[in-house]
């Protein structure tokens, strides 16, 4: 029997919130996985704290509602405990670009085989509108009534520099493309990072700004690191430049969980050899 993918839990996101698009996209991703014969019993969805995090209440797969900034270490632990699972992280820009930034960088560096979607609405929505690391210079929010004096972080550039083996950007108003990016990220053996430009309808409603600037990366060689860096710098999350959507970079490297699995095998072999040695000595 095909499972009901959306739960009956009452949804409390604001009308017009981009999180609905991400939820719908993941629902379509799960349906596509089922169609390919994959069991959703082997999927785990992990979230942190923030508006994004409620998604684990709304989708009917195995889920873990973690704590602020710790989405990625929880997902890493799940993947290491059972490498056969498909582990997907939904995290926010406040969750993983601020509180949990070190975890994001080290997950990319280690190349742990998880897929991370950042619901990047560029504002703390749940706490009613403070600036985050990706808010633009001059952003006026609850904590910066005169406008923030900080330049935003460029997460695409950061992830490239951190060694992520799959780096992409999607947009909540381009749901078909986002679905393909998530499916690609899941199929990728290693750390897959997708920054999702998500509309916060209440505190940062910039859909016109995005919609007039986004374009799809088409003639771009995703295996060319230098070219990926150039594309990443085109829009710095602050300027009026065009905004590239799609896969910036992909390369194949052994994943952290594969390497740790080999360590476990080596340790078991060592233990067996010691036991055999001790038996022959007695
Ligand atoms: Fe969505 Fe923003 Fe409302 Fe949070 S505050 S539910 S991100 S529209």
The reported pLDDT for the residue numbered 279 is 87
The reported pLDDT for the residue numbered 274 is 85
* Closest protein CA for atom 5 of ligand 1: 125
The reported pLDDT for the residue numbered 276 is 87
Residue 226 CA, ligand 1 centroid: distance in Å: 36
pLDDT in tens, 235-256: 999 999 999 999 999 999 999 9
Q: Could you tell me which of 176, 130, 133 has the C-alpha nearest to residue 29?
A: 176
Pocket test for ligand 1, best of 51, 58, 196 (most atoms within 8 A of CB): 51
Q: Which residues are 215's β-sheet partners?
A: 244
Q: Could you tell me which of 248, 191, 190, 187 has the C-alpha nearest to residue 221?
A: 248
Residue linked to tokens 């829009």: 235
* Ligand 1: nearest atom to the Cα of 16: 8
pLDDT in tens, 28-78: 999 999 999 999 999 999 999 999 999 999 999 999 999 999 999 999 999
Q: Could you tell me which of 119, 120, 143 has the C-alpha nearest to residue 131?
A: 143
The reported pLDDT for the residue numbered 1 is 60
HSE-CB for 107 with a 13 A CA cutoff: 30
The reported pLDDT for the residue numbered 264 is 78
* Ligand 1: nearest atom to the Cα of 50: 4
Instruction: Tell me if 189 sits within 8 A of 261, measured CB to CB.
Output: no
Residue 50 CA, ligand 1 centroid: distance in Å: 9
Pocket test for ligand 1, best of 201, 205, 206, 207 (most atoms within 8 A of CB): 201
* Closest protein CA for atom 6 of ligand 1: 13
Per-residue pLDDT of the chain (282 residues; tens, 9 = 90+): 678 999 999 999 999 999 999 999 999 999 999 999 999 999 999 999 999 999 999 999 999 999 999 999 999 999 999 999 999 999 999 999 999 999 999 999 999 999 999 999 999 999 999 999 999 999 999 999 999 999 999 999 999 999 999 999 999 999 999 999 999 999 999 999 999 999 999 999 999 999 999 999 999 999 999 999 999 999 999 999 999 999 999 999 999 999 998 887 888 888 888 888 888 877
Residue 268 CA, ligand 1 centroid: distance in Å: 49
Mean pLDDT (the chain, rounded):
96
Percent of the chain with pLDDT over 90: 90
All structural domains of the chain, each given as residue ranges with its CATH number in brackets, are: 19-254 (3.40.50.970)
pTM value is 0.94
The whole-angstrom distance between residue 52's C-alpha and the CA centroid of its chain comes to: 11
């Amino acid at each position: 029997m095909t499972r009901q993918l959306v739960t009956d839990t009452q949804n409390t996101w604001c009308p017009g919130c981009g999180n609905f698009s991400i939820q719908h996209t993941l629902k379509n991703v799960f349906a596509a996985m089922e169609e390919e014969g994959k069991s959703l019993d082997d999927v785990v969805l992990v979230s942190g704290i923030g508006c994004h995090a409620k998604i684990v209440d709304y989708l009917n797969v195995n889920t873990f509602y973690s704590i602020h900034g710790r989405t990625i270490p929880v997902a890493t632990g799940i993947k290491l405990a059972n490498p056969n699972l498909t582990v997907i992280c939904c995290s926010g820009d406040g969750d993983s670009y601020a509180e949990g930034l070190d975890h994001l960088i080290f997950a990319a560096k280690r190349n742990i085989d998880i897929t991370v979607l950042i619901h990047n609405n560029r504002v703390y929505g749940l706490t009613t509108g403070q600036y985050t690391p990706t808010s633009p210079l001059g952003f006026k929010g609850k904590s910066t009534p005169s406008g923030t004096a900080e330049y935003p972080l460029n997460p695409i550039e950061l992830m490239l520099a951190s060694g992520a083996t799959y780096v992409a950007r999607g947009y909540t108003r381009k749901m078909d493309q986002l679905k393909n990016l998530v499916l690609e990220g899941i199929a990728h053996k290693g750390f897959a990072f997708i920054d999702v430009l998500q509309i916060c309808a209440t505190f940062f409603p910039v859909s016109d700004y995005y919609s007039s600037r986004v374009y799809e990366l088409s003639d771009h060689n995703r295996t060319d690191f230098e070219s990926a860096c150039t594309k990443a710098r085109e829009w710095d999350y602050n300027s009026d430049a065009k905004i590239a959507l799609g896969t910036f970079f992909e390369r194949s490297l052994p994943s952290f969980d594969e390497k740790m699995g080999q360590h476990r095998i080596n340790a078991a072999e060592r233990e067996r050899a010691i036991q055999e040695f001790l038996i022959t000595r007695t």
